[in-house]
Structure 1
């Protein structure tokens, strides 16, 4: 759900020219994890989840209309723990991890009720709110077409309850977006596609109005703090606002930076203490590249999430590298999709450089599609093959690495 125009991503199977030689069979048996998708935007496709070759789908909520839908799909198809994920074959119906969050495209629909706790005149408040958070200032008719704004505290309370009900759930999709513009008017109910969950663009023309960045940041920070409180990873959206996204995260972890131990000091410590300074890339090479599940330490709430995935990361390599500073207390992962990263000539041109800059232990794959089934499998296979090609990995080796990366992202 990363197109700056607000359209859902296409769901035709990816088509790529090749030299006509037979492709190496794709190792679905290893377990392929989709780090970011939106099948609840097309609820009629959800029944196909159980038949997909992918082992796991991380399903994002984005707005008011889909929060309960994501929860309902997770109740039916949710994965309970790492053991179940590893030991159950891909044919199981249990293959969903939910994510609950409010997407920046819809951030205008929330208002900070800590600044205005009592609303006595709903219409006057609606006009005041949308006039303050949208640019250019909208006309009365446009404001009238928008839903009544929702208190931010109400959304956060409901999200906390959903996260507690789903112990493996992420916070997402959340973030910032400078390119997105709101669509004009309301959807014509007489002609709308009933297969689609309400609340999306649904073919409407785009208006000139966008959500002011300070408001997007305010909504983002509130959700990041919630993730930090509960120790949940987050799935982040950033379009034409990579600096703003990084600065927002950095403002929350300020004062919590990690001490960086120099190589010289590591050697000095190693002489007297058996201490492991190895990176996550040096994990064991047992079957499927997986070790025993880690024993989790008690989590201490923080003002920032423990782990973050920058989904369909579209920034340049130098922007990626700033998230890899060893002082940062948030471990950052980067997921890539055919739909976004290879959907334009510009994305295709920088793809290989970005993949090469991404550490082996922090790369993930995703579809970012709004419909489950064969097309979603096709997009996952396509982006995985491309990443393995750039990295110089065999398919089995690459999918073992990516599987291990996702498990570390999700479970820590």
Structure 2
């Protein structure tokens, strides 16, 4: 990976990578964490890494915001009730029509699939983790209509089955997690791929179910967002608690992200790496900082002046203010300008 020139440590200490996956790496060295100048929001996504994120946040509380939740890619591993066998659970999800070809694939796949865990048990675990960490977020959670179940998730390259997780199943698991986040006042990092309209409908349901005040009490980050600029503007107009974060590794594949930055409310833009190696989170996040500064016409701090003229504040100071706003929640529809 080409090296990116970074600013001073004093500047980086004001920067937050709002979405990354450091526990996906085989090992996180103490040296790597010692050298980390930025704050990272460490996401979990499946059963095995909830505890890994827990341990990382306990070891480095000043550098890690823990995020607990179950990603849609692993939602098939969760069953909605406890009185169902492993075979029946996966058959109902993937072969509801009992198609012979699908059943043959499932028979090959099912030997390597674990026993499903219940939705009730993951909510109990999430509640416990949230009580342990008052600053914890819900993440990564969301909807994904593009992901196909692999025969072996850890294989490289992955060989894919024809199966996708039914959207209704994903929605039920997501909504219960988000209900808990609203109940406990926890912010949310949301994944949405090929699910733009279902995501819009979800936001409307959440506001209707919990009421505008409670719903706006939490912040929602549309992470590595792939929405159209028009849809983003509509979402931010309707929901003052929605923020946008983009990553070079995901959004940099398409010029659409430049349009998203351009139309995004300057008070609601954040940056992320979406990276799984903590050694590169800083560079990846800083690369997006530079992109945001370029599109928004903001200056870039190379040194930190604590008495900086507020009328001349640069991209890092603005992003830091946005992060504080995101953390604080309790949003209103009152239009803010700067």
Does the TM-score normalized on the shorter chain lie above 0.5? yes
Cα offsets for 1:274-329 (capped at 9, x unmatched):
xxxxxxxxxxxxxxxxxxxxxxxxxx8x4787110001111110110121125x3x
Q: CA deviation at 1:139?
A: 2.6
* Structure 1 counterpart SS, 2:186: coil
Question: Is 1:153 matched with 2:120?
Answer: yes
Q: 1:309 aligns with which of 200, 218, 221?
A: 221
Q: Which has the larger radius of gyration?
A: 1
Aligned to 1:386: 291
Higher deviation after alignment, 236-245 or 203-212: 203-212
Cα offsets for 1:107-140 (capped at 9, x unmatched):
1111111xxx434x55445544553599966532
The answer on whether the counterparts of 2:216 and 2:241 sit within 8 Å (CA) in structure 1 is: no
Cα offsets for 1:242-272 (capped at 9, x unmatched):
11112112112126665xxxxxxxxxxxxxx
Question: Is 1:400 matched with 2:317?
Answer: yes
Aligned to 2:198: 244
Aligned to 1:265: none
Structure 1 gaps, min length 5? 1-11, 16-22, 79-93, 187-198, 259-299
Question: Is 1:409 matched with 2:326?
Answer: yes
1:116-155 correspondence runs (5 A):
117-119=82-84, 121-132=85-96, 138-155=105-122
Name the CA distance, whole Å, in 1 between partners of 2:143 and 2:217: 16
Aligned to 1:262: none
- CA change 1:332–1:381 in 2 (3 A) is same
Name the CA distance, whole Å, in 2 between partners of 1:99 and 1:133: 37
Aligned to 2:51: 68
Count of residues paired in the alignment: 311
More helix by share: 2
Name the CA distance, whole Å, in 1 between partners of 2:115 and 2:97: 14
RMSD: 2.5
- CA change 1:44–1:255 in 2 (3 A) is closer
The answer on whether the counterparts of 1:134 and 1:211 sit within 8 Å (CA) in structure 2 is: no
Aligned to 2:68: 100
TM-score, normalised with respect to structure 1:
0.70
The answer on whether the counterparts of 1:224 and 1:304 sit within 8 Å (CA) in structure 2 is: no
Structure 2 gaps, min length 5? 302-313, 330-338
- CA change 1:406–1:13 in 2 (3 A) is farther
**Greater RCO (Cα-Cα under 8 Å, separation 6 or more):** 1
Q: CA deviation at 1:26?
A: 2.7
Aligned to 1:296: none
* Structure 2 counterpart SS, 1:325: helix
